[in-house]
């Protein structure tokens, strides 16, 4: 049997549904945004993430956990337990005229919050919602968090924006300004020192945990913390950026290779794992742009460290309130590192001496991203605009995304391994055997598996009908057998897993012969890989194994037809000719 085709030895003690186990646990789900597989220290990175590293040392790391490859689809799958198209979110928050691409989380797909509330749970959320097209202050709000089962919410209804002055910021159901919030007083400052969205996302989660302990101590809770970090724009405090000064001056491979080596040495990935090709060698970066490139990655690293510090404050509050022992904490990312190039082209834009636009009053909520800071200065983009301050808007680009996704191929929005592979860390002190903490789970698992897991932990049932219609059975499997400590060595779970985003598509299914993945870029033919020996997807076997291509592509076709994926191209608002083989 191929070395990769085995289940890891599961190491969790009896769960809440087993006799003598702990009571129903609290559940905390923490999601990063555009964080690559290797960014955290415990996944091979050089970035300082002491709290995630401690979480991994006290829990389990999954080496084969998958998301959907993009922000809105992954959030819809996490919340609903369905593949994104079946939840109405096959693309982004824009109605493209087909059921799978409605751009809004379906009302007959209950959220995690709606699922656990009947079991006596309270439900809280902070951070990025991004599953409704109605993001403005006037709504409609019938698909905002409070309408979808959450008792309290602080965060943004849309996606990316501005860390120093976030757009579509909401407390409860009301749009607010970060600088006119009596529960979190802040002052706009041109250097950004008055407010940062990453800090606020964490600190409001801390608030919710503390107030739950005071007001609802007898009830378990679900907490969903959806950071926007480290999604572009690259915004971080200067002192954190300076921690990484010089670290990235050697270029892309000077970081990638040590990351891959640490992944090997830790046992996270096989000792013979290779490296996907680098899209642009450091030697091709002009000398006068290298300082800027290094600063972009340093700012990305600072954003990850800032998020980790916020996670540390949340974990400390769980300790302080006595909740930590029986709280399941899960950490994952919505997709791989992003090759998007916002703000990376055009000439250098210097900072203006005076505002060029009308300042926005402190009390005014921001409904959309504009080209001005709150004090009226224009946003600066372009080559050699050093990222970090409030008046900059820059991404870190393709080559650093390749570093973040070490050792895998491609990026966010793609369904090759770099786009869909995410860390998953799970800690549960009351339910995990001490002698086996810090280990790995090498089973394949997918974000659609988290809803069945939460249902089982909460002792809740999935309803036959909801939101005025019949529900669709959940496609995922509960990780409950793992959480109950059923120790087994067998072939990997042989069910197929599926992906589609913007025409990029894939299906994964192991058998006794190989750990097969069929994958294709938009409008391109299928490629076939045996991930047990080639997880970097370097050796395409489609020509050698046409029968396996036919078998897996038929599975993908059947899934697509039953999950509102078709027609291909529905995300563009116009169908493309179906082509899957």
Q: What are phi and psi of 69, to 5 degrees?
A: 100, -5
C-alpha 26/C-alpha 470 separation (Å) is 29
Give tens-digit pLDDT for 168-217. Answer: 999 999 999 999 999 999 999 988 889 999 999 999 999 999 999 999 99
What is the model's pLDDT at position 483?
62
Whole-model pTM: value is: 0.94
Alpha-carbon distance of 79 to 109, in angstroms, equals 9
For residues 560 and 98, the answer to whether their CB atoms sit within 8 Å is no
Alpha-helical (H) ranges within 81-174 are 112-116
Please list the active-site residues. 71, 130
Instruction: Tell me the torsion sign for CA atoms 286, 291, 296, 301.
Output: positive
**In this model, does residue 344 exceed pLDDT 90?**
yes
What is the Cα–Cα distance from 519 to 505, expressed in whole angstroms? 6
Q: What is the pLDDT of residue 575?
A: 43
- 223: alpha, beta or left? (left if phi > 0; alpha if psi -120 to 50): beta
Residue 35 has pLDDT above 90, yes or no: yes
How far, in Å, CA of 405 to CA of 420, rounded? 10
**20-31 burial string, b = 16+ CB within 10 Å, else e?**
ebbebbbbbbbb
60-66/439-441 β-pairing: parallel
Q: What is the pLDDT of residue 567?
A: 85
User: Residue 333: beta bridge partners?
Assistant: 32
Mean pLDDT computed over every residue of the chain: 92
Give dist(CA 518, CA 546) in Å, integer: 11
Condensed to tens digits (0 to 9), the pLDDT of residues 183-193 reads 999 999 988 88
Q: Using DSSP bridges, classify how beta strands 60-66 and 421-427 pair: parallel, antiparallel or unpaired.
A: antiparallel
Strand partners, 29: 224, 330
The angle at the Cα of 533, spanning 532 to 534, to the nearest 5 degrees, equals 105
Mean pLDDT of 92-114: 93
Please answer whether residues 131 and 149 qualify as being in contact, where contact means their C-beta atoms are separated by less than 8 angstroms. no
Cα 74-397-387 angle, rounded to 5 deg: 105
Q: Per-residue pLDDT tens for 439-498?
A: 898 889 999 999 999 999 999 999 999 998 899 999 999 887 766 555 443 445 789 999
- Name which CATH class applies to 26-493: alpha beta
């Amino acid at each position: 049997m191929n070395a990769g085709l085995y289940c890891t030895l599961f190491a969790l003690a009896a769960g809440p549904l087993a006799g003598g186990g702990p009571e129903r646990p609290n559940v905390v789900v923490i999601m990063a945004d555009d964080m690559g597989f290797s960014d955290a220290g415990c996944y091979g990175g050089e970035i300082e993430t002491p709290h995630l590293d401690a979480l991994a040392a006290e829990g389990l790391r999954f080496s084969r956990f998958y998301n959907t490859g993009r922000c809105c689809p992954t959030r819809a799958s996490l919340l609903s337990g369905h593949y994104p198209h079946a939840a109405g979110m096959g693309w982004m928050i824009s109605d493209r005229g087909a059921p799978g691409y409605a751009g809004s989380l379906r009302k007959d797909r209950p959220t995690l919050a709606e699922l656990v509330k009947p079991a006596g749970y309270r439900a809280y959320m902070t951070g990025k919602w991004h599953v409704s097209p109605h993001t403005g202050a006037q709504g409609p709000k019938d698909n905002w968090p409070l309408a979808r089962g959450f008792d309290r919410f602080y965060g943004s209804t849309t996606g990316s924006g501005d860390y120093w002055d976030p757009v579509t910021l909401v407390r409860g159901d009301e749009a607010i300004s970060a600088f006119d919030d009596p529960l979190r007083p802040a002052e706009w400052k041109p250097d950004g020192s008055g407010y940062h969205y990453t800090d606020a996302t964490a600190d409001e989660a801390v608030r919710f945990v503390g107030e739950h302990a005071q007001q609802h101590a007898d009830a378990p809770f679900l907490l969903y913390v959806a950071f926007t970090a480290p999604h572009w724009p690259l915004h971080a405090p200067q002192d954190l950026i300076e921690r990484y000064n010089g670290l990235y001056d050697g270029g892309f491979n000077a970081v990638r290779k040590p990351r891959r080596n640490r992944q090997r040495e830790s046992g996270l990935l096989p000792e013979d794992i290779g490296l996907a090709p680098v899209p642009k060698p450091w030697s091709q970066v002009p000398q006068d742009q290298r300082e800027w490139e290094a600063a972009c990655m340093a700012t990305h690293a600072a954003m990850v460290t800032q998020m980790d510090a916020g996670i540390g404050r949340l974990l400390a509050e769980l300790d302080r309130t006595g909740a930590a022992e029986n709280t399941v904490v899960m950490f994952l990312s919505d997709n791989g590192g992003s090759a998007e190039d916002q703000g990376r082209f055009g000439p250098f834009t210097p900072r203006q001496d005076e505002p060029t636009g009308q300042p926005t009053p402190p009390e005014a909520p921001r409904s959309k991203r504009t080209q001005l800071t709150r004090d009226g200065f224009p946003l600066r983009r372009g080559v050699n605009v050093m990222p970090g301050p409030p008046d900059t808007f820059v991404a870190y680009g393709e080559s650093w995304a390749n570093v973040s996704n070490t050792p895998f191929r491609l990026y966010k929005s793609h369904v090759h391994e770099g786009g869909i592979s995410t860390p998953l860390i799970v800690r549960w002190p009351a339910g995990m055997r001490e002698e086996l903490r810090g280990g790995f789970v090498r089973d394949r698992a997918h974000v659609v598996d988290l809803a069945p897991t939460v249902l089982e932990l909460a002792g809740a049932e999935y309803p036959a009908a909801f939101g005025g219609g019949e529900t669709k059975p959940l496609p995922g499997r509960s990780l409950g057998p793992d959480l109950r400590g059923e120790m087994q060595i067998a072939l990997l779970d042989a069910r197929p897993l599926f992906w589609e985003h913007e025409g990029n598509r894939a299906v994964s299914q192991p058998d006794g012969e190989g750990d097969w993945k069929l994958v294709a870029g938009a409008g391109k033919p299928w490629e076939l890989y045996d991930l047990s020996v080639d997880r970097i997807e370097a050796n395409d076997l489609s020509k050698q194994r046409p029968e396996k291509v036919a078998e897996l592509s038929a599975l993908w076709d059947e899934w697509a037809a039953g999950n509102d994926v078709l027609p291909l191209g529905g995300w563009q608002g116009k169908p493309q000719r179906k082509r899957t083989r």
